[in-house]
Structure 1
Amino acid sequence: MRLENSVFVELLKPIDRRGFQKIVDRHGGDAYDKSFRSWSHLVALIFAQLGAVVSLRALVAAFNAEANGHYHLGVGRFARSTLAEASARRPVAVFADLFALLAATLDRKTRREGAEMLRLIDSTPIPLSKFHAFARSNGRIHGLKMHVAYDRGADRPYRVEVTLANVNDVTIGKKTPIEAGATYVFDKGYYDFKWWKGIHDAGALFVTRPKTNTRLKVVAERPLDKTRGDGFTVLADSEVALASKGDSKLRMRLRRIRIERDAASRAKSPIIEVITNDMTRDAVEIAALYKVRWAIELLFRWLKQHLSIRKFLGKNENAIKLQLLAAMIAFLLLCIAAHSHGVTLPPLRFAELAGRFLFARRPVASIDEPPPKYRVPSRWKSDCQIEMIYA
């Protein structure tokens, strides 16, 4: 009879150990912590994410209590001080590069043939307390930001970077590699004419919202063949040009689309404007593209509600960045496992059960089903019946 792997072992399988070791060697990840290597560190932090562990002492106690399962993970027991020191010194790039490697793996598994190349870019605040001396304020929150680029076609985050809260979104957005033929959707935090022009020159498209003080003059009105979309109505579709009195130039054709949201979906204002360099899609399609940007907001909400990125295992910047990256890696591992094993459970339910049965030896595909009852072999059953008859 084949021995079933634990759920944790199955979740970690997509990580190529040789590829990970190359990443470690490239960044000197084991230079200062040779007794507690990068692999053990990674496994411990992923365990904390999936197991919803929110303190260093609890992590060490819970992980060491499962020592019988360590052999198959390739790790051993560790002390709290060892984990704390490693989190303070291990290069963040080790986990960041592993995230990129796993994101590429998920892309191959989930990419739909002919899917639209749609990229969503946004950031989410990571509030920290006053005890985190390194943190900075941007006027709204004191802490960090996690910047994410999301591939809607493959349904996966493919780029992540953690910065101080006072770093402008567009500064990180400019680092995103631009792919010809892709459409990039982002909000007003990525307001930069030079970057927009770079996207246009690379053969890509963008959809965003202009700031209220952006002066645009109407060059021509475009006809509206269709006005109704899912939850919104298109009011106007105009070809516009930048009407700045200064040196600001935006030498490309632009469209401004005015959208009225339905009463049920209104936020502060029922009418919003989006601008784009896409001159071929109809206005309703472009409005729908901006609405799809909500998918990345849902990702942030899911991460904050169901992974450990509200309470941190360390107070220094390096430890917190490693924990945030470990959360993103854990999310990718859950996504890969769901696709590889044909899991049909809702993502939330699957994540909860995976955390509950990390060291249980049961199939991932049927993680929500009770284990099969112990069946007595027929020969034993007969002997038992005879014994009972003559007892």
Structure 2
Amino acid sequence: MRFTPSILGKLVEPINRRRFQTIVDSHGGDAYDKSFRSWDHLMVLIYAQLSGSASLRSLEAGWNANGQHHYHLGSDVLRRSTLSDAGRRRPVAVFAEIFGLLANQLDRQTRREGTAMLRLIDSTPIPLGKLCGWAKSNGRIRGMKMHVVYDPNADCPRILDITDANVNDAQVGRTIAIEKGATYVFDKGYCHYGWWTTQIAAAQAFFVTRPKSNMGLEVLSERPVKVARGDGFTVLDDAEVSLAGKTHCKLPIKLRRLIVKRQDGDTITLLTNDLKRPAVEIAALYKGRWQIELLFRWIKQHLKIRRFLGNNDNAIRLQLFAAMIAYALLRIAARTYRIAMPILRFTDLVSQCLLERRRIEAINKPPPINSSRRRDRTSPNQLGFDYE
């Protein structure tokens, strides 16, 4: 009889086990917890994300109640104390590298199609409870920040970093490896002249952002606006500018300033080093930045990153990376099996059928009737014997 893996078993297939073990060995991931390996840890956290387990007790009960699947997942029985110890000691770099590999898998098809590289950069706060007294505050929230470089064409984060809440966005932006020819869209929180000049412009890449209110700009020449009206906005002005006065040496590159009026009546100013794109297209790129906000909303609503399975810094980081690994696996499965339904419905069905043995492409259909079951050959019109 042909073996049919569970939905969870099919989801984790894109993670190459040999490559995974190489990463674990390079970081010493199994140095302290040999009975509960890094693979066991990852499987348990992915299960927790997709099943909706909100506590160590419920996770232990749900995982151990399905022991018949442990062999095929390459895992074993779970104990709460073991998971807590692993959360404190296992290197976060193991899960971070696995997420990077999965993000590259999602990006391959986009590169083959020759789509223009667009990257959206932003961060979202991760508030932590009072039990995490070690968490730092930025004046608004106490907790952490999740920094993301998002590829809207592949619908997946390309780079993920987790920092304390008081870390400046521009500080993380300077650590991003810039891709030649890509366009980076971000808000005014990533204002850093040195990063714009020595990394983005030097790599022959482009940026679209909003200047801070105290940034003095001097108009060098006006540019004609051939097409002013876009989808929900109108370009009022397009000009080549530079930093005014002696501050010009801090940003010695050619810049364009666009003044855009939104449909709701607000007017915003955009700044870019792209001198070739039409003004209406640049304004549309910045408008598309809302896609990363939708990503953050989806993550917070459908992944378990509001309540954590540990109160220490390391365990929380591991769970955040596991959440994003689960997100990437769902996107890979939807693309591999050509799932036509909305991703929200697909995610809900996966959580309901996580350990059922059925095909992912038929997850929204009832399982087939077992043809080997013996059929009742009696006729309803036939008389039967009744013994008293």
Query: Which TM class, normalised by the smaller chain length?
Result: over 0.9
2:353 is equivalent to residue 353 of structure 1: no
Q: Does 1:143 align with 2:143?
A: yes
Deviations 1:171-228 (A, max 9, x none): 1111111111111111111100000002101111110110011000111111011111
Alignment partner, residue 5 of structure 2 = 5
2:378 partner letter: Q
Equivalent of residue 298 in structure 1, options 294, 300, 306? 294
Match of 2:19 in 1: 19
Q: Render the CA deviation track for 1:9-48: whole Å, top value 9, x for unaligned.
A: 0001000000000000000000000110000000000001
Q: Give the match's secondary structure for 2:350.
A: helix
Residue number in structure 2 paired with 1:93: 93
Q: Confirm or deny: 8 A CA contact 2:149 2:160 kept in the other structure.
A: yes
Task: Work out the percentage of aligned pairs sharing the same amino acid.
Answer: 57
Distance 1:309 1:11 in 2: 20
Moved over 6 A (4+): none
CA contact (8 A) 1:258 1:271 kept: yes
Q: Superposed, which structure 2 residues align to 1:262-281 within 5 Å? A: 262-263=263-264, 270-281=266-277
1:106 partnered with 2:102: no
Structure 2 counterpart of 1:134, one-letter code: W
**1:106, CA displacement in angstroms?**
1.5
- State the alpha-carbon separation in 2 of the partners of residues 228 and 71 from structure 1: 60
Who is 2:235 aligned against? Answer: 234
In 2, Cα distance between equivalents of 1:218 and 1:183: 24
Aligned equivalents of 2:349, 2:154: Cα separation in 1: 24
- Equivalent position of 2:361 in the other structure: 365
Distance 1:77 1:109 in 2: 37
Shift in alpha-carbon separation, 1:285–1:390, aligned structure 2, 3 A: same
Secondary structure of the 2:331 match is helix
CA RMSD of superposed structures (Å)? 1.6
Tell me the distance in 2 between the aligned counterparts of 1:23 and 1:11.
20
2:168 corresponds to 1:172: no
Does 1:389 find its partner at 2:385?
no
Q: Which residue does the alignment assign to 1:255? A: 256
Q: Secondary structure at the match of 2:170?
A: helix
The question of whether the paired residues in 1 share the 8 Å contact of 2:240 and 2:257 is answered with yes
Cα 1:156–1:301 shift into 2, 3 Å: same
Question: Take 1:291 and 1:61, find their aligned partners in 2: how far apart are those partners?
Answer: 46
Report the alpha carbon displacement of residue 249 of structure 1 after superposing the two structures with TM.
Answer: 1.9
How many positions carry a matched residue from both structures?
383
User: 2-side partners of 1:360 and 1:90: how far apart?
Assistant: 30
Cα displacement (A) at 1:112: 5.5
Q: What is the SS of the residue equivalent to 2:226?
A: coil
In 1, are the aligned partners of 2:188 and 2:210 still within 8 Å (CA)?
Answer: yes
Unpaired segments ≥5 residues, structure 1: none
Alignment partners' CA distance in 2, 1:148 and 1:205: 18
Asked if the contact 1:110/1:155 (under 8 Å) is kept, the reply is no
Alignment partner of 1:311 out of 307, 313, 322: 307
- Opposite residue 229 of structure 1, the aligned amino acid is G
Post-superposition offset of 1:114: 2.0
Aligned partner of residue 220 in structure 2, secondary structure:
strand
CA distances 1:141-161 after superposition (whole Å, capped 9, x unpaired): 110000111122322211101
Q: Which residue is 2:222 aligned to? A: 221
Relative to structure 1, the CA distance from residue 376 to residue 30 in structure 2 (aligned partners, 3 Å threshold; closer, same or farther) is: closer
The worse-fitting range, judged by mean Cα deviation, of 152-161 and 271-280 is 152-161
Match of 1:286 in 2: 282
Matches of 2:292 and 2:111 in 1, distance apart?
17
Tell me, what secondary structure is at the counterpart of 2:378? Answer: helix
Structure 1 position 245, deviation (Å):
4.5
- SS of equivalent to 1:272: strand
How much does 1:133 deviate? 1.9
Contact 1:111–1:153 (CA under 8 A) maintained in structure 2:
no
Equivalent position SS for 1:229: coil
1:145–1:162: 8 Å Cα contact kept in structure 2? yes
8 Å Cα contact 1:122-1:148 kept in structure 2: yes
SS in 1 for 2:344: helix
Query: Is the Cα contact below 8 Å between 1:254 and 1:276 reproduced in 2?
Result: yes
SS at the partner of 1:321?
Answer: helix
Structure 2 counterpart of 1:174, which letter? Answer: R
* One-letter amino acid of the structure 2 residue matched with residue 62 of structure 1: G
Report Cα offsets for 1:116-144 as digits up to 9, x if no partner: 11111111100112221221111111100
Given that residues 111 and 154 in structure 1 are in contact (C-alpha distance below 8 angstroms), is that contact kept between their aligned partners in structure 2? no
Scaled by the length of structure 1, the TM-score of the pair is 0.95
User: Does the 8 Å CA contact 2:60/2:78 hold for their aligned counterparts?
Assistant: yes
Deviation at 1:56, TM superposition (A): 1.1
Give the TM-score of the pair, scaled to structure 2.
0.95
User: Is the 8 Å Cα contact of residues 185 and 209 (structure 2) preserved in structure 1?
Assistant: yes
SS in 2 for 1:389: coil
Q: 1:315 to 1:337 in 2, by over 3 A?
A: same
Does the 8 A contact of 1:127 with 1:141 survive in 2?
A: yes
**Aligned equivalents of 2:248, 2:205: Cα separation in 1:** 25
Q: What is aligned with 1:329?
A: 325
| Residues 5, 362 of structure 1: 8 Å contact kept | yes
Conservation of the 8 A alpha-carbon contact between 1:121 and 1:148:
yes
